[in-house]
A and B are shown apart, each in its own frame.
Chain A
Amino acid sequence: MLDRTQPPSFLSVTQLELIKPAAVTLSNGLNVFVFDAGDQDMVRVEWVFDHLFHHEDEMLLNTGTCELIPEGTHSLTSAQIAELVDFHGAFLIPEPGYDQSTLTLFSLNKHLDELLPLVKDLLTDAIFPDKELATYVRNNKQKLQVSLQKNSFVARRLFNRSLFGSVRYGFVPEVSDYDGLTRDRLTTLFRRQYTPSNCTLIVSGKVTPQVIDSLERLFGSGWQVSEKPVPETPMPERTPPNGVLKVEVRDGALQSAVRMGCVSIRRSHPDFPGLQVLNTVFGGYFGSRLMTNIREDKGYTYGISSGIVSLKYSAFFTLASEVGVDVTAATLGEIEREMDTLRQEPMSSEELAVVKNYMMGSLLGSLENVFSHADKFKNVYFSGLGLDYYDRYTSVINSITPDEIQQLAKRYLNYDQMVKVVVGKMD
């Protein structure tokens, strides 16, 4: 007779095999990292450009430049570019981030000969036509007005601004800021930043020698810029803000958006892997302390989660939720209690064992295909680290003790030092 009360035996995953990229340097010095694997005849090419800030208010300018690159060159109109990409079943996606902007192309191998020259044209000859710029500004102003009615969006903005002030990561655009996007400013930033010496290429999928040849021809020998790049101005040092509670009242709100967090450590810090484990325990998975208490025991919310964002010049810890207005104050109280518990009591080794297995399992599961391997590489490469980071990371997951988790909580989870933002209602 089958005993269904007894779980089957299981194994813990303790390590994982990451695909190491082949590094290729094109004749103009451009670095290419190649992940060649997979059965499908598909390739993803990512052109990654560092943001070279000259002024701290250039975040929106970076976003606009990246998103407007496919809107016209001297030889192709916005409509022609869109037509070429769509006809070949490809995806060409501008992805502006905090520290880098990326142009990503997904394409079947058989269409690359048409699409790579198109990207070359865009990256060397984007002209930001006035008409397309005007459309972009008009439509983004409209979208921003809608977003500003979403409590969670407003809470994130208030949080970022509280944490970083008007310095780059804290810059959040107002509707009127879009008027500052002029063709001149876009073109200047484009020339300064979209150059081979400021570019890293990540190529993954079925990367045949022909693909590499095409990249060399178009983005190596075919991409020469004589001007020396003007280096960026580093982000000024800033004293992290003290803990503060900001409430923005929204009449008629059914839920409050809650966001809180603090400046934290970057990926290169020795405590970072351990802090990831602590974060998972606290709010990083479905079985976390926050979810177990605030959703699964109290039913205050549909979801609550926390995470750590590592940036070039800073890092922050953040948690977010949307909770019923009548339980907003109670939720803050429970969050404080959960932080204090982690600071005051070592967690059980049983709970920690679950978290370790969960983290290793999800790490393994996150390596779904060759693109995910490239993503793992990008995480560390743009933090100035190598793939051996993951050896340290997995070794910390496997070996960390309840006592070490408690020490990390004392160091990094201090409710009084958190910036707390509530958009909605709180009695």
Chain B
Amino acid sequence: MVPAISGFGSFFIDKLIEYLSLMNKSFEVTSEGIIVHEKIDTKDTKIVIQITEKWIRILTNLGKLSDIPEEKRMEFIEKLMNANWNYPEISFGLDEEGNIYSMQDEFIHALYYDVFEEEYNAVIASIGIFEKIKDEVLGIKQANISAKEKTEQS
């Protein structure tokens, strides 16, 4: 049930609800914003859409920087910065508590379906890119390959 919000904000909430419905998304309107429930690689993921006076921010929390071993953090951060270059519209950020986010900002006056869809999909795409970077830095992929090879040899 959508709460009654009056004024300027509700105009944009209505627009976003319409766009998310067109995109067949499952979502709820809460006090922290619109929460969209996504399933990415069988994993439940929350995409948050926040509305401020001038901006609409689409974001997802990807995890904590402290989950990365200290000796690998700089390499990890460098790769996040590289990803911003290698993939159009991919943008990672870090808050003061060390949470890593993928986010896209949209000026409210430039909000229309095509822009929203493109930015929403960029946030979704960034989840896979983030996991790939994490695996690379932590050497998980290499470890998995080595383990597989070992099993095959035996």
A binds B: no
Q: Interface on A for B, CB 8 Å cutoff?
A: none
